[in-house]
Chains A and B, each alone.
Chain A
Amino acid sequence: MTAYSPLSREQLSRRIASDLPDGSYVNLGIGMPTKLARCLPSDREIILHSENGILGMGPGGDEITDADLINASKEQISLLPGASICDHVVSFTMMRGGHLDITVLGAYQVSADGDLANWDTGTPGAIPAVGGAMDLAAGAKQVWVMMEHVTKKGEVRIVERCTLPLTAARVVDRIYTDLARIDVTPRGLVVRAMVPGLAREELQRLTGAPLHFDERVDALSA
């Protein structure tokens, strides 16, 4: 087996950010995806949306200095020139009505059909809490998932069928992990990029559904 290095979260964030098109409207889900806000390419205008009524969000400091300028993860943000504020009716109209180009969401599991499980770990006694995840998953033009390829215990996250409670069925377009970029297509999961040195057989071994490989598989790098 050849040696390979999984991407760090920072490297993965930079890689996904570099794939966001100039001029796109993007929602970053809570958790890991919020890191993308700090590594957007400086040569592009990417307009970030936050479900609490903010369009044109910029990075903020590490401490809360203004509670009326926070993102969905309750972190400090700033407003960029051209930003706008709206209420929840309008904000969720943007999300559910297909007005946002891309949402980048964290996930526990994704199926080969693009089913998404990202709101309930299935832990007994956990308090159900969905937030805006189902609205985003149902309504964004494209759903990109950002997650570790396997769990801390080494269990697969990309699966034939999700065993955790679904957020939405058949919505994921693209999966970024610390090992690969995989697209959900009508012919199944297609690997578009992999970290250098990772063998195809090894990636398949770490994945719970059959993988197809694109004619050209790029290096997944930051």
Chain B
Amino acid sequence: MLDKTVPSIAEAVRDIHDSATVLVSGFGASGIPTELLVALLEQGARDLTVVNNNGGNGPLGLSQLFLAGRVRKLICSFARSANPAQPSAAAFAEVYRAGKIELECVPQGIMVERMRAAAAGLGPFFSPVSYGTALAAGKETRVIDGKGYVLEQPLPGDFAFVKARHADRWGNLTYRYAGRNFGPVMCMAAKTAVVQVDEIVPLGSIEPDHVMTPGVFVQRVVQVDTQGTAR
């Protein structure tokens, strides 16, 4: 019998090792696996490389990992607070300015496609995005048929932390609205995809047509209620 459900959040993150690369879903406040990140803080892994679109979103989750000095490097498209009046990435700014974290700024779609390449068994690929800009510095470039391209490297993860809406015990997932964002590609690009869901549903209750991430890409699912405790 195939059962990917785990009984607790602590169990879900138990084997995250030092120096792991962790892909973390979320765009704005939507689709962030906050409870998994808080559990990782308690679990203690350090020297992490985190891939996330933003530099944290408010005080919980990634921001706590930054302040605790657990993250060596952030690979990110937008590590600034989008709205200065409501700073969402203040903790990141603090550790970055103190020189305690490395930042690799990547165009958002290239971050995505680098993960997709890793997931799909592809090697490096040429993209026109960032050609002739500061973000192409140090990368191989080539002009093909008169158009400039930058060589981009696949970006695999040791783990993915993803938030989804429903999962069954095979790991089939659905997401809610724009909470889907990076979830599908991060599940595909990580060796071990750990998914926190609002509800674990019986096998067969997600219509095959409605599965958004097929279970083959998911290794663990844990149900988390709105108070952040596993059920």
Interface of A toward B, CB cutoff 8 Å: 30, 50-54, 64, 66-70, 73-74, 79, 85-89, 92, 95-96, 120, 125-135, 138-139, 165-169
Chain B interface extent, by class: 35 or more
Given contacts A74-B82, A87-B212, A168-B133, 10 further A-B contacts (CB under 8 A): A52-B178, A89-B116, A89-B184, A89-B185, A92-B109, A127-B55, A127-B93, A129-B105, A139-B128, A168-B131
- A135: chain B residues at CB < 8 Å are 107-110, 129
- A165: chain B residues at CB < 8 Å are 133-134
Interface contact A130-B113, CB-CB below 8 Å: no
B216 interface residue per 8 A CB criterion: no
- Comparing B11-19, B27-35, B217-225, the segment that makes contact with chain A is B27-35
- A133: chain B residues at CB < 8 Å are 107
Interface contact A169-B131, CB-CB below 8 Å: yes
Interface contact A132-B77, CB-CB below 8 Å: yes
Say yes or no: A87-B28 contact (C-beta < 8 A), given A131-B77, A135-B129: no
- A96: chain B residues at CB < 8 Å are 109, 127, 129
Interface contact B103-A130, CB-CB below 8 Å: no
Q: How would you classify the secondary structure of chain A's contact residues: helix, strand, loop or mixed?
A: loop
Query: Among A68, A74, A95, A134, which residue has its beta carbon within 8 angstroms of that of B177?
Result: A68
- A68: chain B residues at CB < 8 Å are 30-31, 176-179
Closest to B28 in A: A74
* Bound Cα distance A53, B177 (Å): 8
Interface contact B109-A168, CB-CB below 8 Å: no
